[in-house]
Structure 1
């Protein structure tokens, strides 16, 4: 799949759970509404864990949003307005890339952010989980 180093997270540090809409498990390359699967990662300052692949069994926005109910951030190449609103209302932060982006690069970027100066939305996610 990739060369991501997987370690365990026992230090109690803040962790974010991220889903990537993907066709090939290597890239962010799917529209939210037509995604057949999401690769799910847990990312902290010291660890990156591939958790699971969430499969979308039927094309239903509400069911797909419910499938991602434990996710903090979801990435995709596009999303419809109604689906975006449902994700945001469910407390899931959305990130859209117009071009295909490597999941590995994005995961590394997120971990680098956690280790330097995370943007306010990531700080908020971590604070919510610790509280």
Structure 2
């Protein structure tokens, strides 16, 4: 497992750290268990930035979950039951899309939620980080 640091962002109020299982760094287009990389974004009310790309070097659920430590939400096209349970037990909220969705579209949607009335799961993430 390796990661490539793109930018450094200071943690601010309402900041979400989100991972996208992606093959092309543009779309949510990978199954969690077979993902070769995750694009990690920091999203706040005022900014969206790609902070790093975490590479998955071997197919091992426990190592992949550990690689995502500190992530608030992970997106993918599918996930097995055991992997989903391990993610949730690690405090990572999971979101599954059956169809390929653009990362830009999803990051913008999250930012809009932060600037409006976030759903309960987003509020819970923010409250947990502020505590």
TM-score by length of 1: 0.91
The 3 A distance-change label for structure 1 pair 9 and 61 is closer
1:100-127 superposed Cα distances (whole Å, 9 cap, x missing partner): 0000000000000000010001001111
Which residue pairs with 2:78 in the alignment?
78
Give runs of aligned pairs for residues 18-97 of structure 1, distance below 5 A. 18-97=18-97
Aligned length: 124
Structure 1 residues not aligned, in runs of 5+: 1-5
TM-score by length of 2: 0.91
**Deviation of the 1:13 alpha carbon:** 2.1
Q: Distance in 1 between matches of 2:125 and 2:49?
A: 18
**Deviation of the 1:49 alpha carbon:** 1.2
Structure 2 residues not aligned, in runs of 5+: 1-6
Quote the RMSD (CA, aligned, Å): 1.4
After TM superposition, the runs of 4+ consecutive aligned structure 1 residues lying more than 3 A away are none
1:28-86 superposed Cα distances (whole Å, 9 cap, x missing partner): 00000000000000001001111000000100000000000110000000000000000
Q: Distance in 1 between matches of 2:14 and 2:130?
A: 7
